[in-house]
Amino acid sequence: MSEPSKLYEESGKVKVSISPWRLQTLSKEALNDLEKFWAEQARQLNWTKYWDRTLEWDPPFARWFAGGLLNASVNCLDRHLDSETRNKAAIVWEGEDGQSRTLTYFELYRQVCKFANVLKRYGVTKGDRVTIYLPMVPELAIAMLACARIGAIHSVIFSGFSSQALVDRVNDAQSKVIVTADGGIRKGKVVELKKVVDEALPSTPSIERVIVLKRAAIEITLGPNHVWWHEAMKGAPHVCIPEAVESTHPLFILYTSGTTGKPKGVMHGTGGYLTHVLSTAKWVFDFQKNDVFFCTADIGWVTGHSYVVYAPLMCGVTEVMYEGAPDFPGPDRYWAIVEKYGATILYTTPTALRMYMKYGDSIPESFDLSSVRLLGTVGEPINPEVWMWYHRVIGKERCPIVDTWWQTETGGIMLGMCTGIEMVPMKPGSATFAMPGIEAGVVDEKGDAVPLGTKGYLVIRRPWPGMLLSLWGDDEKYKATYWSRFPGTYYPGDYAMIDKDGYLWLLGRADDVLKVAGHRLGTMELESAFVAHRSIAEAAVTSRPDQVKGESIVAFIVPKEGIAKSLELRKQLLDHIRATLGAIAVPEEVYFVDKLPKTRSGKIMRRLLKAVASGGTVGDTTTLEDGAAIDEVRKAYEDLKHEVVHT
């Protein structure tokens, strides 16, 4: 574990206080009276009717601001229409092909109202689900806010997912409408989104209407209930009276991977969620009037929901939305965007930073990054060397770095430095402290707090407003997944440590969830996809450390009797994963074996597979059913190491 950095104290370049007294005081006050604290934060929102009770806590179900009525799109848009923010740029969009578009708050409001009326015209009403499968274009935010305006529940699906992933998610949510595009643009190529939707449609009977945005200008065919976005918008009324929904009304479902085969529909409410993302955005990023916020996350993931769409718009800042790949056309795109739009805050992933770092300092140094005042990271642990590079080369040793830990389930940031409250001395690789109102701890197997400096499981002890309402349609799974490991306490599935100064360090996942290039993937989800292939009997998926992506996927595969372990089969499998789940789930390495190492009770010993894949030690194998299996896995790995399949 890295020692606290001396750099900051020594250089004197970053002004820090000796101890975080202001944060500590606020946190103490908040935890002493949690409801009073969050009620004060919630008053920053526009409510049609204030709540009757701040929190109804029926563990593990929280109903924040029960009895309150509000609308999320009003809080992002209408609230700015009477101020100078009305005509300010809300979204500055950069297409991968260099196109640029700016939408003011008023223009965004107009588009949202119109599209809300389109949805209404197609029979979408409060509580209906709308699947949004769009590339990173302003219409993605417009579609989400339009759903929110009429009380429909959006379910955004990352545009890198393929048809099977789409089918599973649409069917689970029973969506009525899909909003998609002819294609998206990624690395200079067209990703044919409508084609993926067409493949999915025969298996998604709940869909009544498909709305298609023209983005890539490719040939597509429109079915009987398919309509172009621009045609549908023609003549749609400009005004749409917002639906005031209950604070606990679901705002969205966002599917995420866990330790089971099927992705989980994380369901977020309205009042609590908005309170959480608004407060944390103010605390962490300390938004100022002139800020230009560049969050590089795709809206298909939670960071994009909370800190591309909801938080910046509620705060009335100008944000940059970028459509494409960070290394297209060259490995300098984020720096070019920062320079072009004068971004003041950059919020990105360690994977992107590791990729840029590989190309050397001279590339970012050739851009004017002087507008930047604050840097952030999210999604995976940041290695201290990468943190230092970010600080030195991008931040020129004058910008603080906020390393923010949170999850799809938490709705918003939970751990990280609150520059809007108080700067604290930074430690490269540490997320610093919990947000005010969040009580985090680190415990052992039994749920007892571990001593300072000891690795354990991260837990969150009290409810918080951004917490998921439940899993869509599955309260039991919600209870079992998050609240049963340590009863009464939220278990996120991460390892962590608190050091002697009280700083939190995140030490990776404690379960079978992978973080590949910041994307969250479940090993079971991948294994189910492998065994769905007709030639495969069994599959076990694990990961090994990767210098850029953090982790890369390694699969051990047992083909069915009589099926040759050929390169051809391997290629077929990779194509199969790409077609069913999407390119982000394609393993870096695939090894064929005759059997998998299992315990006597028949469970695959993933720990061993991970050790083999990472070249580490295998440790205790006494519970293995068949000691030969692990040797076989290792041999298969050794044999094939030299023919790694790069995908």
Which residues would be at the binding site for ligand WTA (CB under 6 A)?
A: 256, 301-303, 378-381, 403-408, 431, 492-494, 506, 509, 515, 520
Which residue, 108 or 517, is less far from ligand WTA as judged by CB?
Answer: 517
| Strands (DSSP E) found in 305-391 | 318-322, 345-348, 374-378
Residue type, 311: A
Structure tokens belonging to residue 87: 């005509």
Q: Residues near 445 by Cβ (< 8 Å), separated by ≥ 6?
A: 457
Least gap, CB of 480 to ligand WTA (angstroms): 17
| Cβ count near 578 (within 10 Å) | 15
Which residue, 120 or 515, is less far from ligand WTA as judged by CB?
Answer: 515
Nearest to 154 by CA among 138, 171, 177, 121: 177
Least gap, CB of 379 to ligand WTA (angstroms): 5
Long-range contacts of 470-476 (CB under 8 A, 24+ apart): 470/61, 470/267, 471/264, 471/265, 471/266, 471/267, 472/172, 472/173, 472/253, 472/264, 472/265, 472/266, 472/267, 473/172, 473/265, 474/264, 474/265, 475/61
Least gap, CB of 433 to ligand WTA (angstroms): 13
3-class secondary-structure state, position 432 = strand
Which residue, 355 or 431, is less far from ligand WTA as judged by CB?
Answer: 431
Least gap, CB of 532 to ligand WTA (angstroms): 24
Residue type, 96: E
Least gap, CB of 498 to ligand WTA (angstroms): 14
**Measured on CA atoms in the order 361, 363, 364, 367, is the torsion positive or negative?**
positive
Least gap, CB of 351 to ligand WTA (angstroms): 11
Cα separation, 646 vs 144, in Å, equals 36
Bridge partners of residue 252, in order along the sequence: 154, 268
Which residue, 57 or 495, is less far from ligand WTA as judged by CB?
Answer: 495
Nearest to 633 by CA among 560, 527, 526, 558: 558
Least gap, CB of 83 to ligand WTA (angstroms): 31
Which residue, 266 or 612, is less far from ligand WTA as judged by CB?
Answer: 266
Least gap, CB of 307 to ligand WTA (angstroms): 9
Which residue, 107 or 499, is less far from ligand WTA as judged by CB?
Answer: 499
Q: Is 2 exposed, middle or buried (0-12, 13-18, 19+ CB in 10 A)?
A: middle
Which residue, 441 or 492, is less far from ligand WTA as judged by CB?
Answer: 492
* DSSP 8-state assignment for residue 360: -
Least gap, CB of 254 to ligand WTA (angstroms): 9
Cα separation, 277 vs 413, in Å, equals 7
Nearest to 359 by CA among 133, 216, 518, 548: 548
| Per-position b or e across 433-444, b if 16+ CB within 10 A of its CB | bbbbbbbbbbbe
Least gap, CB of 536 to ligand WTA (angstroms): 28
Which residue, 522 or 559, is less far from ligand WTA as judged by CB?
Answer: 522
Cα separation, 47 vs 78, in Å, equals 12
Least gap, CB of 227 to ligand WTA (angstroms): 33
Which residue, 320 or 431, is less far from ligand WTA as judged by CB?
Answer: 431
Which residue, 515 or 610, is less far from ligand WTA as judged by CB?
Answer: 515
Cα separation, 403 vs 382, in Å, equals 8
Least gap, CB of 408 to ligand WTA (angstroms): 3
Cα separation, 490 vs 461, in Å, equals 6
Cα separation, 194 vs 181, in Å, equals 6
First-to-last C-alpha distance (Å) of the chain: 33
Sheet containing strand 153-156, edge to edge, reads: 226-228, 209-213, 177-181, 129-133, 153-156, 252-256, 264-268, 470-471
Least gap, CB of 181 to ligand WTA (angstroms): 23
Which residue, 299 or 593, is less far from ligand WTA as judged by CB?
Answer: 299
Distance of CA 169 to the CA centre of its chain: 16
Which residue, 258 or 364, is less far from ligand WTA as judged by CB?
Answer: 258
Least gap, CB of 645 to ligand WTA (angstroms): 26
Which residue, 169 or 509, is less far from ligand WTA as judged by CB?
Answer: 509
Nearest to 404 by CA among 527, 295, 538: 295
Least gap, CB of 378 to ligand WTA (angstroms): 5
Cα separation, 459 vs 467, in Å, equals 13
CA distances from 566 to 415, 540, 557, 590, 592 (A): 47, 18, 12, 11, 9
Which residue, 107 or 501, is less far from ligand WTA as judged by CB?
Answer: 501
Which residue, 427 or 598, is less far from ligand WTA as judged by CB?
Answer: 427
* DSSP 8-state assignment for residue 426: -
Which residue, 246 or 380, is less far from ligand WTA as judged by CB?
Answer: 380
Per the listing, tokens 């294609």 go with: 183
**Measured on CA atoms in the order 446, 449, 451, 453, is the torsion positive or negative?**
positive
3-class secondary-structure state, position 405 = strand
DSSP-assigned states of every residue in 261-313: SSPEEEEE-SHHHHHHHHHHHHHHH---TT-EEEE---TTSHHHIIIIIIHHH
Least gap, CB of 468 to ligand WTA (angstroms): 11
